[in-house]
A and B are shown apart, each in its own frame.
Chain A
Amino acid sequence: MSPQDNRKPGPPRIAATEQMKQLITNYYIEAKTTQEKPICWITSGGPVEFLIAMGVIPVYPENHGAMCGAAKVAVGLAEVAEGMGFSPDLCSYARLDIGGVATQGGAIPGGLLKPDFLLCCNNICGTVVKWYEELSRTWGVPMFLFDTPFIHGSRPEHATEYVKAQCLELVAFLEEHTGKKWSDERFEEVAMLSVEGVDLWKEVLKTAESRPSPFTCFDAFIHMAPIVTLRGTREVVDYYRLLRDEMRARVENGIGAVADEKYRLIWDNIPIWYAMRSLGNLFADNGACLVADTYTTAWAVDIRIDDPLTSMADAYTKVYLNISIDLMLEQLAALMERFSADGLVMHSNRSCKPYSLGQYDLSRAITEKTGKPALIIEADMTDSRAYSEAQTRERVEAFIESL
């Protein structure tokens, strides 16, 4: 008997999912078939607004990595990279991407389209610098490193100036490699759309403050794809308005994502993509709803229209993964408070050191600060060889029981 048979029915599927799938499919079709638009591979925390403003199609190997993880093709691709000499201890997104490039494989038929250039922003990790250097060598294309100094405590003025200066260097880089002229007006338009999209995404996330929550973070992980990949476009704004309205309607009608929401939890770290369904069911079966997470909120940064460059430099530097543990603790505690959370679930992700190292200290500090317990699950975001479902089930059930 599968555990599914005892499950109380949840709410119907989120209707906007269809639109999102269409949006992402269209985006990948364009990226695969474009003849005239340049392609730029970009890191998930990168300043995509510059690319959109220059008519460049952004392609996200990390997004593709998540798809490969969910489609359970990640391990095969990672093994290709391991065969090429890349250590199995390296980030699994990087490994599967390198394997994907070598075999033109992945979750999309034929793999990702060849980039014309690369935009790497190290506000999420130093790993991406090494990964993109490898891509730059393999594809033989130029790479722009957008270097965002890590914030230990306070941020010095010279760091802000450095990042601002790089915004202009990036513009010059894009002009050189696209042959197009930069337009401040176009950029402002894109920045405004980005702000609008981000604001709507924040409104979507905010609906989960309600009890019961209309969605879980497992839904958010899926519906974050447009804000990560296509912010700054009109389609994203339209899409999140639709999703927000649907979530607000759920709140008004008292529809919860988990049939009988007893416990509200916060998720920390990148999802365990290949175990999303089983984990989602596991928590739901035990009356626990993961109402918010530190991952999808990372794309909820502020850009000010009156001074887009300065505020972009600011926003891209202070993202969650680019700040010290004590600053993370403040944000995490605020998130717990805002979403009335009963506990914290941390994914200790062997692929992601900036996210995971420090979690042991954070978990103790959060309990001390909020009185709420924390659970740590050891796994990997896409490499299922580092995951034990049975052990995780046991630990999650024991944790929820203790709440």
Chain B
Amino acid sequence: MRKYGRKTMAGEALRELMELREDPYSRARAWKERTGGMALGFFCCSAPEEFVHAAGALPVRITGENRGVTRSPAHLQSYCCSLARTGLDMALDGSLSFLDGTVFLHTCDTMQRLSDIWRLNAGFVVHADVVLPVRFESESAWTYMTAELEAFKEKLEGLLGPIDDERIAGSIKTYNRNRELLGRIYAMRRADPSVLRYEEALWLVTSSALVEKSEHNKLLEAVVGDLEESGAAAAEGDAGAEEPVGLLGIGSVMDQWEFLEMVREAGATFVDDDFCNGHRYLETMTPEDLPPVEAVARRLWDRSACPCKHVPSRSRAGCIVNRAKESGARGAVFFQFKFCEPHAFDYPHVKKALDDAGIPSLNLEFEQGSVSIGQMRTRVEALVETIRG
């Protein structure tokens, strides 16, 4: 990891957060030890975290790990994505033993079955399924969605006691503040990518689902305040080189930090993304003037198209092309989990929309724990060369 030499608040806070990358769950484990509270894991970024937070519990995102698997092959076939395979492996080998339970959102066929397998094998006390609608455009779907979220809230109340509306309102504010701060970082980088490396910006978003939110806000405030005041906080050493080619990243979870470093070395940087531990997580605010369940539902409903949701009026290809244009990206990289059906089905038409908009792209498939940076480097360099012309 690079050094954060500056003795400023931002340097300190950034260093503290970046260090978490080496042991992503260390903060959650410490929180658990310190408070004795309930920690609940979740895979999907559509989890209604505000309810969990308001109940005094800690929501923690699980996004698999870069590792081989030893225990999950007894439960999951090899044609299942590595997110599920490494995630289950972590649950089975005790890496997630600080969790009291898990909340599964209905996203894809794999997550749907992983929920069953997890419930039957991982041995956590708490297990919840939140089966949100797949259709996101009808009154009946909206009614169903709010009822399903209400049912989840009631389940939490059964475990942790009543959650009053004021506490939820407080949690909503805390979460919105977090998204706002992260949004400012993304906006600063769109204006000038050199203020912060992309892998740092992306980690700031990723880590926000691993650290208790108000603690995370404090650290982020220090980072953002300093960045806004002085510009490039820790980016010394990146200066002087040719201006990097701006790219848009497209996929679900992006946790390949070595890959991102390689992209930088290849003379490019991501100026924005459509990852669900990136821009897609921070983009929509929860309304603060609605009743709690409706407010949380509203944010999920209004978010830009996730490939697991059917939203006919909101073309995902259109959203992605717009995002590329707004960020000034000159190229795009699809970075997708092997065996991920929702994303793989979307690839051809999204790629075509990018082609039509004159944005060249590259499709890279990966599995956690077995990424070949060397092969990817050649392809990324070729893309950068094409763009530079």
Q: Using a CB–CB distance below 8 Å, which chain A residues touch chain B?
A: 84-87, 89-91, 94, 122, 125-127, 129-131, 133-134, 137, 143, 145, 147, 149-150, 152-153, 156, 158-159, 161-162, 165-166, 169, 324-326, 348, 350, 353-354, 356-361, 378
Contacts and interface: CB of A to CB of B under 8 A. Distances in A.
B181 to A, nearest CB: 34
Given A89-B79, A169-B140, A324-B116, A129 B134 contact: yes
Interface in B58-113: 74-77, 79-80, 104, 106, 108-110, 112-113
12 contacts: A85-B348, A85-B363, A86-B344, A126-B134, A133-B310, A158-B148, A158-B151, A162-B144, A169-B138, A353-B80, A354-B113, A357-B77
B131 A130 contact: no
A100 to B, nearest CB: 16
B121 to A, nearest CB: 7
Contacts of A161: 140, 143-144
Nearest to B108: A126
Given A87-B344, A130-B342, A158 B135 contact: no
Contacts of B79: 89, 350, 353
A203 to B, nearest CB: 32
A150 to B, nearest CB: 5
Given A169-B138, A353-B110, A354-B112, A130 B144 contact: no
B143 A90 contact: no
Given A162-B143, A324-B115, A353-B109, 16 more contacts: A86-B348, A90-B345, A127-B341, A137-B349, A147-B135, A147-B141, A149-B106, A150-B112, A156-B148, A158-B143, A158-B147, A159-B148, A161-B143, A166-B140, A357-B109, A360-B74
Interface residues of B, number: 51
Interface string B339-366: 1011011111101000000000001010
B338 interface: yes
A126 B308 contact: yes
A282 B336 CA distance: 40
Closest 3 CB pairs of A and B: A130-B345, A158-B147, A165-B140
Contacts, number: 143
Nearest to A143: B312
Given A152-B115, A358-B117, A360-B74, A89 B339 contact: yes
Nearest to B148: A158
Interface string B211-239: 00000000000000000000000000000
Nearest to A354: B109
Interface of B is mostly: helix
A130 B342 CA distance: 6
A361 B341 contact: no
A159 B131 contact: yes
B312 A325 contact: no
Interface of B: 74-77, 79-80, 104, 106, 108-110, 112-117, 119-121, 129, 131, 133-135, 138-141, 143-144, 147-148, 151, 307-308, 310, 312, 338-339, 341-342, 344-349, 351, 363, 365
Nearest to A323: B116
A89 B342 CA distance: 12
Nearest to A89: B339
A122 B106 CA distance: 12
B344 A348 contact: no
A156 B151 contact: yes
Nearest to B111: A126
A126 B341 contact: yes
A325 B342 contact: no
A289 to B, nearest CB: 27
Contacts of B349: 134, 137
Given A133-B310, A158-B151, A85 B347 contact: yes
Contact of A85 (B113, B134, B139, B351): B351
A89 B116 contact: no
